[in-house]
Amino acid sequence: MFQNYSSYKKHFSKLVELERKEEMERHRSEIKELSPREREDKGRALLNMNKRDEGRGVGQKYKIKFVKNRGRELPDNEISVGDLVMISKNEPLNPENPTGTVIEQTNHSITTEFTSKPPRFVFSKEVRIDLYLNDITYQRMLEALKKLENPTDKQKRIQEKLLGQKKPERNNKPKIEIYNDKLNEPQIEAVRKSLAASDIFLIHGPPGTGKTTTLVEAIEQHVDRGDSVLATADSNVAVDNLVEMLYKRGREVVRIGHPARVTNRLKQHTLDNLIQKTKEYQMAEKTRKKAFKLLEKQDRHTYPSGRWRRGLNNKAIKDLADKDETSRGIPLDKIKSMAKWLELQSQIDQLFNKSDRLEEKAINKVLDEAEVVCTTNSTAGSDLMENQKFDSLFIDEATQSTEPSCLIPITKTDKVVMAGDHKQLPPTILNEKAKQKGLKKTLFERMINNVGNHHKTLLTIQYRMNQKIMSYPNREFYKNKLKAAPQVKRHSLKDITNKTDSLIEPRQPITFIDTEGSSERQPEGSNSRQNKGEARITRKTIERLIDMDIEPSEIGVITPYDAQVDQLRQELPDIKGLEIKTVDGFQGREKEVIVVSLVRSNPEQEIGFLRDLRRLNVAITRAKRKLILIGDSETLRTDKAYRNLINYVQSQGHYLKMNPETIKTK
């Protein structure tokens, strides 16, 4: 593993830097490829921005506030505080363009800080601001790596476990009363073991086994034994899901994060919303208003610029005004006016300081009263959370977060419970080298083989798939340990439609349509693949499903390749509610029917990144009642896992051949 923390830190810092550079590069190439308007529509550029204000910020850095013409609202965008942006005029790819960090953002303005004075054009009209890098998360990962270098006693304990220097520790399993009476045996076992664990616990939850349900029970039990609890995930969607489940269980939850990134329904739980109800915050607002009034008043007095103060310091100005005297030829009324300006300034400073303190109090009050604080891993590293510490941390979808991302919340605690499934897709890593050197291997995956049985539980009962859909992934990925819950074991399309169809065979949970005479192609300038014949067969299949009265919103079309997503969307343009996505886009979701277009079909029998079987696992475990696979068995059979899959459908399911040239679609 790692010799010491210093080598651990060096290893991961390097990988984070590689990934950071790659993201920057990708932004550059997107700027090259998209028109300015297209990039603005994607939320990664702001066009026609004008300087509104300028000044100096912390450390005398240059600060510029930009707004749209006539103060129009900024369009929706992905740019946020902490990100690196590039400012340009007509030449967005000029290497000389200055970059700055966003330090403030409102609906109407964006304020950026530059370490050196930016070129003149930045101060002119109609400049363009491009997101250059979502930098803040990388910075927080690097900070977390640094923090653990000088750990507190508590952090030291978890650090040793991360390095594999010491085995995880535990107490006896407590006797507890489980709140959610639906929980099954392995879920209850996971909750009890998680309570006994002192530092690390892993909940391994294959598809549909109730990872989040179990994690929520574990959170509730930790809260009720008096722990302060932080719950995180990498994505906002996953955090929102936790917030919703905890709220439904009657828990006091605070969701920290930019309200724009939180689902509308859950905005009431955001910190921004909750602090507004506190007395302290209302007083802070009043105090701020007073300060703004004084700022207006101050405008009517003379600012003590060099021209008027003529070398006098603030105290000298005030002393002269008190004595009704002047000096250095400054008119007396100017002396008095400057003194007034200075007096107001000190009152204004005091008021702003007071409102800041009050706001901080309001925040601490809300956080202290919360039973569970929920944020993304990245936001756990925000300034707001700087001084917050928690007895235990729960990370959902932990196999979707890189190790440095998990470290951000880990620095705030000495116990972490993670839920995930390393047999499904890992986080997306952009940089090939970072991927190969280990950024793709999650902390969960690294730990699961190194901790003993007391520190992990496999959830074995799944509530999604008909057992025939479950059977293949069960054998291939989960050592046959999964069982289908009785309520789903035999469910099929037959239960939701009275119609029959020879292509769909509603009684059969799994179908393989073997394509004949369709082949893949690689679109020009792309690494992706598409297969027109499979798209036609998919269309035919969907038409038949709809004829059987299956709601399009209950059908998902999945394919591993982006280019095939485009092809399928062209083929099936106007079916409302039908979702067509890549495998990666469907992780964590489910539908009654899933149609998978496997795409690869070539004389070389090359299957490319289909070989990552975690992708296959995710694709085939999204279906509840019916899984329809479309592929070229000749190409796919070269790989053992696909060969087993096809053999399985041939012997246990519904297998047929189809030539896309000969089929008719509507």
Ligand X SMILES: Nc1ncnc2c1ncn2[C@@H]1O[C@H](COP(=O)(O)OP(=O)(O)OP(=O)(O)O)[C@@H](O)[C@H]1O
Task: Give me the residues that bind ligand X (CB under 6 A), please.
Answer: 182-184, 187, 205, 207-213, 463, 588
Burial pattern 509-532, b for ≥16 Cβ within 10 A else e, equals bbbbbbbeebebeeeeeeebbbbb
Closest approach of Cβ 245 to ligand X, in Å? 8
Closest approach of Cβ 473 to ligand X, in Å? 12
Torsion angle defined by CA atoms of residues 453, 454, 456 and 458, in that order, rounded to the nearest 10 degrees = 60
Nearest-CB residue for ligand X: 210
Closest approach of Cβ 209 to ligand X, in Å? 5
Strands ordered across the beta sheet of 555-559: 579-582, 555-559, 591-597, 623-631, 510-515, 654-658
Q: Looking at beta carbons only, is 358 or 461 nearer to ligand X?
A: 461
> Angle, to 10 degrees, between the axis of helix 467-477 and the axis of helix 640-652?
150
Closest approach of Cβ 187 to ligand X, in Å? 6
Closest approach of Cβ 662 to ligand X, in Å? 38
**What letter represents residue 150's amino acid?**
N
Q: Are 113 and 62 in contact (CB under 8 A)?
A: yes
Asked whether the CA dihedral 506, 512, 513, 519 is positive or negative, the reply is positive
Q: Looking at beta carbons only, is 464 or 654 nearer to ligand X?
A: 464
Closest approach of Cβ 182 to ligand X, in Å? 4
Q: Are 107 and 74 in contact (CB under 8 A)?
A: yes
Q: Looking at beta carbons only, is 587 or 601 nearer to ligand X?
A: 587
Ramachandran class of 194: left when φ > 0, alpha when ψ lies in -120 to 50, beta otherwise? alpha
Q: Smallest Cα–Cα separation from 474: which of 645, 651, 655, 647?
A: 645
Q: Looking at beta carbons only, is 207 or 509 nearer to ligand X?
A: 207
Burial pattern 566-591, b for ≥16 Cβ within 10 A else e, equals bbbeebbeebeebbbbbbeebbbebb
Q: Looking at beta carbons only, is 208 or 560 nearer to ligand X?
A: 208
Helix (H) or strand (E) holding 100: strand 99-105
Closest approach of Cβ 631 to ligand X, in Å? 24
Q: Smallest Cα–Cα separation from 128: which of 75, 68, 91, 87?
A: 87
Q: Looking at beta carbons only, is 92 or 206 nearer to ligand X?
A: 206
Q: Are 50 and 64 in contact (CB under 8 A)?
A: no
Q: Looking at beta carbons only, is 184 or 497 nearer to ligand X?
A: 184
Give the number of other CB atoms < 10 A from CB of residue 153: 7
Q: Looking at beta carbons only, is 183 or 641 nearer to ligand X?
A: 183
Closest approach of Cβ 185 to ligand X, in Å? 9
Q: Looking at beta carbons only, is 358 or 406 nearer to ligand X?
A: 406
Closest approach of Cβ 437 to ligand X, in Å? 28
Quote the Cα angle for 271-275-277, to 5°. Answer: 130
| CA Rg value for the chain | 30
Q: Looking at beta carbons only, is 118 or 207 nearer to ligand X?
A: 207
Tokens standing for residue 573: 């343009």
Closest approach of Cβ 488 to ligand X, in Å? 9
Q: Looking at beta carbons only, is 145 or 620 nearer to ligand X?
A: 620
Tokens standing for residue 588: 């964590």
Closest approach of Cβ 205 to ligand X, in Å? 4
Per DSSP, the three-state class of 201 is: strand
